Amino acid sequence: MLIIMASVYAVTPRLDISRTTDKAKQALSFCKQKGYNTRYCILIDMSLPSGVKRFMVWDFVKKDTLLTGLVSHGCGRSPWSWTWSKDKPAFSNADGSHCTALGRYRINERAYSAWGIHIKYFLTGLDHTNSNAMARQIVFHSWEKVSDKEVYPEGTPEGWGCPAVANNTLKAVDALIKKQQKHMLMWIYN
């Protein structure tokens, strides 16, 4: 009797290049229409698990990603700082939901943060799905609990809805944002 053993290999999810390129084209059109930065934008694909690189700085000129990294999402009703919803986050614009809100954001002024490398950027929600961002104090910041490297099948620790990246990622993005003359767009989508 012959017994056949099958191995199960976990395939790490990756960015869909076609989808990312399409989002980038839409983002460029929006940036031109609104007078935003037309060199770079930030795209965050929440359809991917939090343990893979789903944060991108997109270079409109090169039509490619400039850098990628991990990014947290909101914990919702789960305990803060864990990874309960690493594969299927809940999204909400409601105050007190502790969820990430999908949509386009304008990256505003730079300020001091109690988290990570002590830098944050205020965000203005530009869609009805994220219009409460300022009232909810949703900001872009770093967090020492976010890894520089992919951790899939594990997840990235969850916060209260802010897009938080690794300290080294924010250092690179901060240097880029400070050089720009116009507001940059951040687009969080699923």
CA–CA separation, 3 vs 51, rounded Å? 35
Give strand pairing partners of 139. 122
Q: Is the pLDDT of residue 35 over 80?
A: yes
pTM of this structure = 0.94
Confidence at residue 9, expressed as pLDDT on a 0 to 100 scale: 53
The terminus-to-terminus CA distance of the chain in angstroms comes to 49
Q: Regarding beta strands 55-59 and 64-69, do their DSSP bridges make them parallel or antiparallel, or are they unpaired?
A: antiparallel
The tens digit of pLDDT for each residue in 149-170 reads 999 999 999 999 999 999 999 9
Q: Which own/partner pairs from 54-61 qualify as long-range (CB within 8 Å, at least 24 positions apart)? A: 54/15, 55/163, 55/165, 55/169, 56/15, 56/20, 57/172, 57/173, 57/176, 58/20, 58/24, 58/27, 60/24, 60/28, 60/31
Q: What is the mean pLDDT of the chain?
A: 94
User: Any idea what DSSP says for residue 24?
Assistant: H
Q: Which residues pair with 41 in a beta bridge?
A: 58, 185
The predicted model gives 90-114 an average pLDDT of 98
Whether 3 has a pLDDT exceeding 90, the answer reads: no
Longest pairwise C-alpha distance within the chain: 72
Other beta carbons within 10 Å of 129: 16
**What's the confidence (pLDDT) of residue 10?**
65
Report the pLDDT value the prediction gives residue 25, as an integer from 0 to 100: 98
Where does the pLDDT of residue 60 fall: very low under 50, low under 70, confident under 90, or very high at 90 and above?
very high
Residue 1's pLDDT is what?
46
Fold that domain 17-189 belongs to in CATH = L,D-transpeptidase catalytic domain-like (2.40.440)
The pLDDT of 110-129, averaged and rounded, is 98
Length of the chain: 190
Peptide bond preceding 49: is omega within 30 degrees of 0, i.e. cis? no
